[in-house]
Structure 1
Amino acid sequence: PTVSYRFNEQWGVGLGITYNRVDGELHRQVPVAVGQAANGAPIVTEVDSRVEGDDDAWGYNLGVIYQPVPETTFGLTYRSKVDFNLDGSFSASSPVLDQLGIGTVTDTAALDLTTPETVNFSITQQMSDNLKLMFGASWARWSRFDQILVTGTEREEITNEQQNYSNAWAFSTGGEYQLTPELALRAGVALDFTPTQDTTRSVRIPSDDRRIFSLGAGWSPTPDLTLDFAYSYLTERSTQVDQTKTDSFTVAGQQTPPITSTYSAGYKNEAHGFGAQLTYRF
């Protein structure tokens, strides 16, 4: 929920709180050496490794609007970072572990995750009685997302994957046409530059620069009430992921020999988004 107050014809402010919840799973096939063949080569099996966890946390939004003339509006919004401390469980299983009498390996799991704060700036220009154009720029402090580090009670590191995100910008432009006094139609496009680095981009989040195309509408059945709806199509630039990872595994208190594996693949991502908003004016 967000509450806004207009001081006069030029200035208005807003304040809101957000309730955020994360409920996720990390899943990976981990190569494990469980013995040696007669020629000395390691006998390798894959262990199905899963980490599950959840947490909820609070954040807040701050905003200000400045309207120097009736046709022009400037907006500035700050969305806070959100700190999550996920707690959950770790399990690893495979038929080979069952055959060795070890069974499923379990542990607790903990992950600290901070989603970035963002700053958004916008300009809205009323071109005519029915048409307005908008421009926006957004900055996100993605450098907070430096690693995925999952720890357990018996294992100092269950997962340690470096991400090394950098701060990123996004730019958008669009328009709104007031078709009738009650109905407004909207369209826009955005460029969202990736915070990922070529050297540390991983299969966990194989993303690259994004283009987002949006359509929307606002319906005001009464002067004080507005319902907004939006649809967005997101497409990402094709990207390449090349990873080399060395794994060892703790089984019955013993560390298995390290196994190095390589992975290479191309990715092309897309997504569809839907949004709705209710505004009531006091």
Structure 2
Amino acid sequence: MKKGVLLLGMLVMIGMETMAAGYQVLLQGNRNTAMGNLGVGLQPDPSSVFWNPGALAMARQSGVALGVNIINSKINYWDSETPGSSYTTTTDSPLGTPFHVYGAFQPKNSEGEYSNWAFGLGVYTPYGSSVEWDPAWKGNSLLQSIDLQAIFFQPTVSYRISDRFSVGAGLVISTGSVNLQRGIPQVGPDAGIELDGSADIAFGYNVGLYFQASEMVNLAFSYRSKVDAAVKGGDVTFKNIPASIYVTGLFPEGGTQFDATLPLPSVASVGVTVTPDEKVTIGFEGNIVGWSAYQSLTFDFVDPINGELRTSSPRDYKDALQFKLGAEYLLTPAWALRAGIYYDQTPVQDGYMTPETPGADRTNLTFGFGWMPTEHLRVDASFLWVNGQERRQSFADAANAGTIAGFDADGNVTDVNGPVQEVMPGTYKSTALIGGVTVTYLF
């Protein structure tokens, strides 16, 4: 792979990877978040549009829900791979504010009885956080900043087959945008590249089953399909590039455009909810996230970069598991306390960690409360602590993965013609504090 292709290829790869792996924290309902991010098997409400379309027809009510979360996240980096180095830095990322809006409608007949049909619409932002490193940090050639916005729309229909069993499906319509910047210290101290693109509208689906096995036990299953996100005609621009560099043909003067397609993974979920008495609800959920669909990225350029119109980079992700446990206790008919824990396995294998979302297993703690001042109005608040495990990436790990070449085990350059570097060896740790509120009106 030629060096000019690698420079732009790394830029696009980082931006698209964030769209895929992102800061993968589910924030699609604050009652759910407070209970360890349970949702598939919980008692239905408007948020079932996202969590389990099959449950919607069991709600026997209509309603709307509006919610927002505030994300305060950071990534710490230590240069643990260079002998004698004490270098460390931390991101200074702006607050993220993902939101969710749901509407659910279950019609009644002339006698006031609920229909077996239910309909819903969800609008939510599964990806929406930002990452900003110091522009002059050690890995600025890989990433300086990224800002991702994504919005999913989901019209949904559900049908109650019997008093205990219902099914449902939703059409997922996705769109979004990404802006990413990084430096080019090889060219100049202020030289850089900016990626800016909008994803085309893409489609997927969300299906679910909901079964009331007994008065105390609910069983549920949902499946959200893979969505192929495509950026076509994304803009690549350069800043502070000396004219002498343009003459060499390394970068097209005036910028260029790119096309790329990336699969956003499927999620299969199984949930069990138990209500041993009217005050207590306990739930467990297991998910399989189909990250193995993300094996490589290929980029097509309108103008050749150092003579190349296409480049490809292996990612070799693996499927990942999530396990969730949560509970709710009704203090009074108006007040509920909630808490939970969930484990999120990383799909990123050794040697593939990148500065915007260093892959590490996460253990997440949640708590919150619910308040129903009237029988129609509910306010849910949640607090979530995301704790990514500290994870080290060595030069040997990256060399074995093929994401770095031309360095020895101590990080010394051994290829005088220019090393290949797609990752930054070192030790990473990600954490986040997230709060949120959802207001639901039922009728």
Report the TM range for the smaller structure's normalisation.
0.7 to 0.9
Q: CA deviation at 1:57?
A: 2.9
Q: CA deviation at 1:222?
A: 4.5
Q: CA deviation at 1:163?
A: 1.8
Cα distance in 1 between the residues matched to 2:310 and 2:176 = 19
Matching residue of 2:163: 9
Matching residue of 1:35: none
Cα distance in 1 between the residues matched to 2:270 and 2:435 = 23
> For residues 29 and 157 of structure 1, do their structure 2 counterparts lie closer, same or farther at Cα, with a shift above 3 Å needed?
farther
Gaps of 5+ in 1: 33-43, 248-256
- Which AA in structure 1 matches 2:273? T
> For residues 230 and 161 of structure 1, do their structure 2 counterparts lie closer, same or farther at Cα, with a shift above 3 Å needed?
farther
Greater C-alpha radius of gyration: 1
Point out the more displaced range, 101-110 or 143-152: 101-110
In structure 1, which of residues 224, 237, 247 is the aligned counterpart of residue 389 of structure 2?
237
- Which AA in structure 2 matches 1:260? P
Point out the more displaced range, 99-108 or 60-69: 99-108
Q: Does 1:198 align with 2:337?
A: no
Is 2:275–2:282's contact at 8 Å kept on the other side of the alignment?
yes
Q: Does 1:85 align with 2:230?
A: yes
Q: Secondary structure at the match of 1:153?
A: strand
Matching residue of 2:202: 57
Q: Deviations over 1:182-238 (max 9, x none)?
A: 332211000111111003333343121011111233334454554433221111011
Matching residue of 1:66: 211
Cα distance in 1 between the residues matched to 2:245 and 2:275 = 73
In structure 2, which of residues 384, 397, 419 is the aligned counterpart of residue 260 of structure 1?
419
Is 2:317–2:348's contact at 8 Å kept on the other side of the alignment?
yes
Q: CA deviation at 1:65?
A: 1.3
Is 2:246–2:253's contact at 8 Å kept on the other side of the alignment?
no
Is 1:94–1:104's contact at 8 Å kept on the other side of the alignment?
no
In structure 2, which of residues 341, 356, 359 is the aligned counterpart of residue 207 of structure 1?
359
Instruction: Please give the TM-score of this superposition, normalised by the length of structure 2.
Output: 0.52
Cα distance in 2 between the residues matched to 1:68 and 1:128 = 16
Cα distance in 2 between the residues matched to 1:158 and 1:271 = 37
In structure 2, which of residues 301, 325, 335 is the aligned counterpart of residue 152 of structure 1?
301
Bigger strand share? 1
In structure 2, which of residues 220, 230, 235 is the aligned counterpart of residue 75 of structure 1?
220
Matching residue of 1:117: 266
Larger RCO (CA under 8 A, 6+ residues apart)? 2
- Which AA in structure 2 matches 1:125? V
Cα distance in 1 between the residues matched to 2:280 and 2:362 = 27
Matching residue of 1:138: 287
Q: CA deviation at 1:19?
A: 4.0
Q: CA deviation at 1:69?
A: 1.1
Cα distance in 2 between the residues matched to 1:52 and 1:246 = 28
Q: Does 1:94 align with 2:240?
A: yes
Matching residue of 2:192: 48
- Which AA in structure 2 matches 1:115? L
- Which AA in structure 1 matches 2:295? D
Q: Deviations over 1:226-278 (max 9, x none)?
A: 4433221111011123445479xxxxxxxxx9521554221110123345556
> For residues 76 and 198 of structure 1, do their structure 2 counterparts lie closer, same or farther at Cα, with a shift above 3 Å needed?
same
In structure 1, which of residues 12, 17, 22 is the aligned counterpart of residue 176 of structure 2?
22
Cα distance in 2 between the residues matched to 1:79 and 1:186 = 26
> For residues 81 and 279 of structure 1, do their structure 2 counterparts lie closer, same or farther at Cα, with a shift above 3 Å needed?
farther
Written as runs of structure 1 = structure 2, the 5 A alignment for 1:28-39 is 28-30=182-184
Of all paired residues, the percent bearing the same amino acid is 26
Cα distance in 2 between the residues matched to 1:192 and 1:59 = 23
> For residues 178 and 134 of structure 1, do their structure 2 counterparts lie closer, same or farther at Cα, with a shift above 3 Å needed?
same
> For residues 13 and 129 of structure 1, do their structure 2 counterparts lie closer, same or farther at Cα, with a shift above 3 Å needed?
same
> For residues 176 and 142 of structure 1, do their structure 2 counterparts lie closer, same or farther at Cα, with a shift above 3 Å needed?
same
Instruction: Please give the TM-score of this superposition, normalised by the length of structure 1.
Output: 0.79
Q: CA deviation at 1:142?
A: 0.5
- Which AA in structure 2 matches 1:57? A
Q: Secondary structure at the match of 2:354?
A: coil
Matching residue of 1:164: 316
Cα distance in 2 between the residues matched to 1:116 and 1:275 = 25
Gaps of 5+ in 2: 1-45, 59-159, 407-415
Q: Secondary structure at the match of 1:152?
A: strand
> For residues 223 and 61 of structure 1, do their structure 2 counterparts lie closer, same or farther at Cα, with a shift above 3 Å needed?
farther
Cα distance in 1 between the residues matched to 2:353 and 2:291 = 14
- Which AA in structure 2 matches 1:54? S
> For residues 226 and 16 of structure 1, do their structure 2 counterparts lie closer, same or farther at Cα, with a shift above 3 Å needed?
farther
Cα distance in 1 between the residues matched to 2:196 and 2:277 = 53
Q: Deviations over 1:132-176 (max 9, x none)?
A: 211110111011222343331013457644321100101011110
Cα distance in 2 between the residues matched to 1:16 and 1:221 = 32
- Which AA in structure 2 matches 1:80? S
Q: Secondary structure at the match of 1:143?
A: helix
- Which AA in structure 2 matches 1:272? L
